């Protein structure tokens, strides 16, 4: 019977909806600081540092001890497992530092991307087996939302039906396990920017991926009011010769969502996907200025586009911690303004400037 399924009980609906709405409150967004050990290693290597436990701890300490104003712009931080259990030099656990700033701790709960057998270099994401157990423990340890990243690729014959079905289904199963454990799932079907495709192709693929994703979320009885979507923006491919202007990116992206993202979803928290810091801010701003129906908050959940200047300003030196924290505050404020359509292009100059942050076949 098509009606033989249940909504979550009212208390759970309430809890999930409140968390999701707090994350996408006006002018607020997410700092994605959930780089895996190896990805963080690459970031540290870029500034001449070794990838040690302590180097990673010191860097996250820098982020989370930024002055409390950070909480005016950042509502949530996505952590990697080891960071949840690390402490600042004075012994304060990292989640406590976030709480003091009014920031909700979240967790990357997937365990990484793996190849799809027989496909044209496509992939799925693993980590379902013990997910329920891990979510139950994370909730006890103060985590209220989670992220799971799936990757889709634009090519002549991709994304394939195999990868569309598989990635939508694994995201939906993940989302349902999170909700069963009182954790808000951020659903991230990232379409990589790699390729020389044009804007329209990216829009069509985005519409297709979102259609599969929301069908699967429905199949798995996921409570949409207690979820967030973390998508790519609709842009031309990184190797395309015709780059789209911000109003075109905004139109194509908002149009794709109008067609595919139900209004019950409280918010869309974009990944930056290799755009420069300034580009990611300007495109987000353009989306919020775009006229037309936008029943969801449109905000940020940036990794590279919130941290490139911070890492550069820090350079691994204690005497630069304050300067690096100032970079984080500046960029967070710029994105907070963009999330309500009030950012003035060029008004914030970061250390990383307009440098593109594209990484081929990006892994997290």
Asked if residues 302 and 269 have their Cβ atoms less than 8 Å apart, the reply is no
Contact between 228 and ligand 13P per CB under 6 A: no
State the CB neighbour count (10 A cutoff) for residue 230: 23
Contact between 60 and ligand 13P per CB under 6 A: no
212, 303, 309, 310: residue in contact with ligand 13P (rule CB under 6 A) = 303
The torsion defined by the Cα of 292, 297, 301 and 306, in degrees rounded to 10, comes to 70
35 as an active site residue: the answer is no
- Selecting among 58, 108, 153, 230, the annotated active-site residue is 230
Contact between 338 and ligand 13P per CB under 6 A: no
Expressed in percent and rounded to 5, the helix, strand and coil fractions of the chain are 45, 15, 40
State in angstroms the smallest separation of the CB of 204 from ligand 13P: 21
CA-atom Rg of the chain in angstroms: 19
Of all residues in this chain, which one has the CB nearest to ligand 13P in the complex? 303
Phi and psi at residue 283, to the nearest 5°? -65, -40
State in angstroms the smallest separation of the CB of 2 from ligand 13P: 34
Which string of x and - marks every residue 139-158 that binds ligand 13P (by CB under 6 A)?
Answer: ----------x---------
- Give whichever of 15 and 149 is closer to ligand 13P, judged by the CB atom: 149
Residue 360 CA neighbour count, 13 Å, CB half: 2
- Selecting among 166, 188, 278, 337, the annotated active-site residue is 188
188 as an active site residue: the answer is yes
Spatial distance between the Cα atoms of 145 and 149, rounded to a whole number of angstroms: 14
Contact between 272 and ligand 13P per CB under 6 A: yes
Stretch that binds ligand 13P, among 174-182, 195-203, 217-225, 265-273 (CB under 6 A): 265-273
358: nearest Cα among 273, 236, 282, 283: 273
| # chain residues binding ligand 13P, by CB under 6 A | 11
64, 212, 257, 364: residue in contact with ligand 13P (rule CB under 6 A) = 364
Contact between 305 and ligand 13P per CB under 6 A: yes
Does 159 sit behind a cis peptide bond, omega within 30 degrees of 0 on the bond before it? yes
Catalytic residues, which ones?
Answer: 188, 230
């Amino acid at each position: 019977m098509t009606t033989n399924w249940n909504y979550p009980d009212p208390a759970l609906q309430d809890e999930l909806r409140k968390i999701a709405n707090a994350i996408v409150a006006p002018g607020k967004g997410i700092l994605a600081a959930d780089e895996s050990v190896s990805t963080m290693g690459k970031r540290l290597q870029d500034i001449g540092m070794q990838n040690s436990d302590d180097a990673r701890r010191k860097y996250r300490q820098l982020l989370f001890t930024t002055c409390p104003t950070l909480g005016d712009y950042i509502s949530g931080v996505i952590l990697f497992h080891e960071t949840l259990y690390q402490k600042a030099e004075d012994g304060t656990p990292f989640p406590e530092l976030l709480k003091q700033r009014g920031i909700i701790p979240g967790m990357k709960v997937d365990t990484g991307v793996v190849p799809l057998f027989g496909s044209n270099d496509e992939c799925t994401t693993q980590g379902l087996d013990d997910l329920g157990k891990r979510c139950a423990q994370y909730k006890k340890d103060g985590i209220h939302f989670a992220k799971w990243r799936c990757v889709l690729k634009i090519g002549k014959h991709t994304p394939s039906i195999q990868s569309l079905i598989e990635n939508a289904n694994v995201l939906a199963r993940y989302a349902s396990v999170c909700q069963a454990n009182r954790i808000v799932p951020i659903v991230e079907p990232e379409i990589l920017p790699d390729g020389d495709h044009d804007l329209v192709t990216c829009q069509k693929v985005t519409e297709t991926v979102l259609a599969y994703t929301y069908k699967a979320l429905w199949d798995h009885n996921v409570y949409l009011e207690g979820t967030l979507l973390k998508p790519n923006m609709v842009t031309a491919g990184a190797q395309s010769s015709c780059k789209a202007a911000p109003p075109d990116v905004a139109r194509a992206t908002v149009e794709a969502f109008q067609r595919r993202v139900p209004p019950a979803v409280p918010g869309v928290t974009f990944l930056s996907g290799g755009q420069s810091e300034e580009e990611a801010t300007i495109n987000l701003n353009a989306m919020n200025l775009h006229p037309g129906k936008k029943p969801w908050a449109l905000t940020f959940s940036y990794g590279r586009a919130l941290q490139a200047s911070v890492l550069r300003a820090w350079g691994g030196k204690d005497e630069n911690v304050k300067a690096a924290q100032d970079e984080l505050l500046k960029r967070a404020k710029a994105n907070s303004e963009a999330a309500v359509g009030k950012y003035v292009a060029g008004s914030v100059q970061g250390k990383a400037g307009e440098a593109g942050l594209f990484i081929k076949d990006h892994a997290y």
